Amino acid sequence: MSLVSLSSQTPLLDAIQEPSDLRGLSDTDLLGLAGELRSETIDVVSQTGGHLGSSLGVIELTVAIHAVFDTPRDKLIWDVGHQCYPHKLLTGRREAMRTLRKKGGASGFTRRAESAHDPFGAAHSSTSISAGLGFAVARDLGADIGDVICVIGDGALSAGMAFEAINNAGALGRRIFVILNDNAMSISPPTGALSTHLDRLAAPVRAGSGDAAPAGVTSLFEQMGFAYHGPVDGHDLTGLLDTLRHLRQTADGPVLLHAITRKGAGYVHAERAADKLHGVSPFDVATGTQAKARAVGPSFTKVFATALVAEAEQDPRIVAITAAMAGGTGIDIFARSFPDRTFDVGIAEQHAVTFAAGLAAGGLRPFCAIYSTFLQRAYDQIVHDVALQGLPVRFAIDRAGLVGADGPTHAGSFDIGYLANLPGFTVMAASDEAELVHMVATAAAHDAGPIAFRYPRGEGSGIDMPVRGTVLPIGRGRVIETGSTVALLSFGTRLGQCLAARQALEAQGISVTVADARFAKPLDKALIEDLVSRHKLLVTLEEGATGGFGALVLHHLAARGMLDGRCGLRTMTLPDSFISHASPDEMYAAARLNAEHIERLVLGALAHSRRRHALPLPYDGTNGTVNGSRTIAAE
């Protein structure tokens, strides 16, 4: 049943500059406003792309919260933040939303720097209750803060840190509102016993038989010190207004309101879609058909998944783990072939890694497929449970490097540094989709210890693909093109940019070697020493922050006493800043990691070495980016 007829007329929304404008409206007008807000959300995302289903599911919640509470003095914190589009439309950013996720435009998540109505930034899930409790305690210790409202989804609630926060909040007893937006969806259907528990609580509302948990079913939240209210219909705006007004009047401690919603609510194409149109590219509103990005080659994700299936067909010890990202990581492809060897642990990366460690200790060959950025959440598990015990967990690290519209919260910038400094780890980066196939085979065969291979979001270059992966010699890189003056040593897919830069430099009479390092650990020391001894300049490149591959190369050369100036050395990395969202190309341009930047750096370094005297480097030691600013905009 559609909750709204899509109309382009939005007279009520037109009058809303700030949430305070809502508070003068009648409940009837608020109903009309919700309808207009839903239409506007659909229209905006049909133009820009982004996260649609989640935003549609919280239209009524958004209107009710801003109508009842005194935002921004009352702090409204959205968990994940991918559902914040209606919130942004009501908080002075309606125009900015037309530039959603574009270079210089509105972020697709909440951001403190963007608005006082975004008291806490998000994008990684399950942080809202911890942050909200911080605001609540700051208030109780004298800060000028009103109420605190955390909106968290059923998926985000499956992460351990959400329960760490509930555990603490329930004991502290501070007044805080947690609104559980329960649409029985994560990106895909949720997994886990918590989901079963929530379904039991929600059953009456979902069955349309009333606003109360079934007799005898008490929520675990009550057991943990929260006043549990619900389940209530999260699309019944009038009911929500009454409930929130009542709770605001009466709450004297932590409150959890269990709101039952539908992801994609009010847009038939979203409601019908298996994923409820969680993440979409621009689409036709009438048909729901999305624009298809032109792809030259297969996606790295699909190449990974297909290669893993091929390996698993030969080896029953191979199992796959995802943390609620089966579609994004391609593990859903693996699951179709091996449902009993596939484990979706929910949004629980810490558990995923240590679970994989247990699987490895039990003699299996676990592939833990987690985006680089989300793997950050499990660092101690990687160190303490995997590396320290030398357990052969395989890490398939997707979304390595800059990812584009999701921006800095999703950039895979740090895994090279945070893995290659761990004893016993093997760290690889695929320079293209064929290399990725070989790296899956190499990881499958590697029982000597933990091994990771990284690859970017998006499609490959469409090169010829091997039928099967071959196991690579550990710690060995490969020379692609031979030259004599400059050596470009690339770790990852900047290799393509190196080859383009080589062409430009060769046209200027500069002879360039291009090599693919393949491994950041163990380093190919023989290759590095040979490149340094035979060239005037060695440049390392990586789609990672400083302190990664290039640093390890310099460490090695220092240890070998080869920093004697006979060969100039430069490292090209991501800048020491977070790069705002834009397209991947625009972000790599801001990072100065494209072919033109390689060419410019080489010419500058050669000129510098010709002058043979120290000049102040035109940068802070990175590849030309201005340092000092924490976040830089894509050019």
Ligand X SMILES: CC(=O)[C@@H](O)[C@H](O)COP(=O)(O)O
Which of the choices ligand TPP, Mg ion, ligand X, none does residue 386 contact, using the CB cut-off of 5 to 8 A by kind? none
Between 446 and 457, name the residue whose CB sits nearer to ligand X. Answer: 457
Indicate whether 153 belongs to the interface with Mg ion (CB under 5 A): yes
Q: Is 594 annotated as a binding residue?
A: no
Q: Is 623 annotated as a binding residue?
A: no
Between 42 and 553, name the residue whose CB sits nearer to ligand TPP. Answer: 42
Are the C-beta atoms of 597 and 623 separated by less than 8 Å? yes
Between 385 and 398, name the residue whose CB sits nearer to ligand X. Answer: 398
Task: Mention every residue, 6+ apart, whose C-beta is less than 8 A from residue 16.
Answer: 22, 33, 90, 94
Are the C-beta atoms of 606 and 580 separated by less than 8 Å? no
Which of the choices ligand TPP, Mg ion, ligand X, none does residue 279 contact, using the CB cut-off of 5 to 8 A by kind? ligand X
Other CB atoms within a 10 A radius of the CB of residue 140 amount to 12
Between 243 and 261, name the residue whose CB sits nearer to ligand TPP. Answer: 261
Identify the three-state secondary structure at position 6. Answer: coil
Q: Is 349 annotated as a binding residue?
A: yes
Cα–Cα dist 611/606, whole Å: 9
Indicate whether 39 belongs to the interface with Mg ion (CB under 5 A): no
Looking at the DSSP bridge assignments, the partners of residue 151 are 78, 179
Q: Is 124 annotated as a binding residue?
A: yes
Q: Which two tokens stand for residue 613?
A: 């005297």
- The catalytic residue positions are 263, 349, 377
CB-neighbour burial class of residue 55 (10 A; exposed 0-12, middle 13-18, buried 19+): buried
Are the C-beta atoms of 137 and 172 separated by less than 8 Å? yes
Between 46 and 128, name the residue whose CB sits nearer to ligand TPP. Answer: 128
**Matching residue, tokens 């990581």:** 329
Q: Is 82 annotated as a binding residue?
A: yes
Q: Which two tokens stand for residue 274?
A: 């298996």
Q: Of all residues in the chain, what percent are helix, strand and coil, respectively (each to 5)?
A: 40, 15, 45
Q: Is 229 annotated as a binding residue?
A: no
Q: How far is the CB of 157 from Mg ion (least distance, A)?
A: 9
Q: Is 154 annotated as a binding residue?
A: yes
Are the C-beta atoms of 364 and 317 separated by less than 8 Å? yes
The candidate with the shortest Cα–Cα distance to 248, out of 79, 115, 64, is: 64
Q: Segment contacting Mg ion (CB under 5 A): 177-185, 235-243, 275-283, 454-462?
A: 177-185
Q: Which two tokens stand for residue 460?
A: 């490959």
Cα–Cα dist 265/616, whole Å: 58
Pairing of strands 176-182, 254-260: parallel
Which of the choices ligand X, Mg ion, ligand TPP, none does residue 57 contact, using the CB cut-off of 5 to 8 A by kind? ligand TPP
Q: Segment contacting Mg ion (CB under 5 A): 148-156, 166-174, 243-251, 513-521?
A: 148-156
Between 364 and 368, name the residue whose CB sits nearer to ligand X. Answer: 368
* Contact footprint for ligand X (CB under 6 A): 51, 80, 82, 123, 187, 279, 328, 399, 403, 406, 457
Q: How far is the CB of 448 from ligand TPP (least distance, A)?
A: 29
Are the C-beta atoms of 92 and 115 separated by less than 8 Å? yes
Cα–Cα dist 387/445, whole Å: 18
Q: Does an H or E element contain 138, and which?
A: helix 128-140
Q: Is 619 annotated as a binding residue?
A: no
Which of the choices ligand X, ligand TPP, Mg ion, none does residue 324 contact, using the CB cut-off of 5 to 8 A by kind? ligand TPP
* Contact footprint for ligand TPP (CB under 6 A): 54, 57, 80, 82-83, 123-125, 153-156, 183, 185-187, 263, 278, 324-325, 347, 374, 377
Indicate whether 279 belongs to the interface with Mg ion (CB under 5 A): no
Cis amide leading into 456 (omega within 30): no
Between 438 and 454, name the residue whose CB sits nearer to ligand TPP. Answer: 454
Q: Does an H or E element contain 333, and which?
A: helix 331-337
Indicate whether 154 belongs to the interface with Mg ion (CB under 5 A): yes
Q: How far is the CB of 6 from Mg ion (least distance, A)?
A: 24
Q: Which two tokens stand for residue 54?
A: 């989640």
Phi, psi of 190 (to 5 degrees): -70, 160
Are the C-beta atoms of 326 and 335 separated by less than 8 Å? yes
Q: Is 36 annotated as a binding residue?
A: no
Indicate whether 81 belongs to the interface with Mg ion (CB under 5 A): no
Q: How far is the CB of 154 from Mg ion (least distance, A)?
A: 4
Cα–Cα dist 278/54, whole Å: 6
Q: Is 295 annotated as a binding residue?
A: no
**Matching residue, tokens 């057991």:** 223
Cα–Cα dist 164/151, whole Å: 16
Q: Segment contacting Mg ion (CB under 5 A): 149-157, 166-174, 428-436, 462-470?
A: 149-157
Which of the choices Mg ion, ligand X, ligand TPP, none does residue 156 contact, using the CB cut-off of 5 to 8 A by kind? ligand TPP
Cα–Cα dist 529/539, whole Å: 13
DSSP, res 384: I
By beta carbon distance, the residue nearest ligand X is: 328
Please report, in angstroms and rounded to a whole number, the separation of the first and last CA atoms in the chain.
44
Indicate whether 128 belongs to the interface with Mg ion (CB under 5 A): no
**Matching residue, tokens 């031979």:** 482
Between 101 and 365, name the residue whose CB sits nearer to ligand X. Answer: 101
Between 57 and 544, name the residue whose CB sits nearer to ligand TPP. Answer: 57
Between 325 and 419, name the residue whose CB sits nearer to ligand TPP. Answer: 325
Cα–Cα dist 177/171, whole Å: 15
What CA dihedral angle connects 604, 607, 609 and 611, to 10 degrees? -130
Q: How far is the CB of 436 from ligand TPP (least distance, A)?
A: 22
Indicate whether 151 belongs to the interface with Mg ion (CB under 5 A): no
Which of the choices ligand TPP, ligand X, Mg ion, none does residue 83 contact, using the CB cut-off of 5 to 8 A by kind? ligand TPP
Q: How far is the CB of 82 from ligand X (least distance, A)?
A: 4
Q: How far is the CB of 63 from ligand X (least distance, A)?
A: 22
Which of the choices ligand TPP, ligand X, Mg ion, none does residue 403 contact, using the CB cut-off of 5 to 8 A by kind? ligand X
Residue choice 115, 183, 381, 623 for contact with Mg ion (CB under 5 A): 183
Indicate whether 155 belongs to the interface with Mg ion (CB under 5 A): yes
The binding site for thiamine diphosphate comprises 82, 123-125, 155-156, 183, 267, 349
Binding-site annotation, residues for Mg(2+): 154, 183
Pick out the residues of the known binding site.
82, 123-125, 154-156, 183, 267, 349
Residues at the interface with Mg ion (CB under 5 A): 153-155, 183, 185
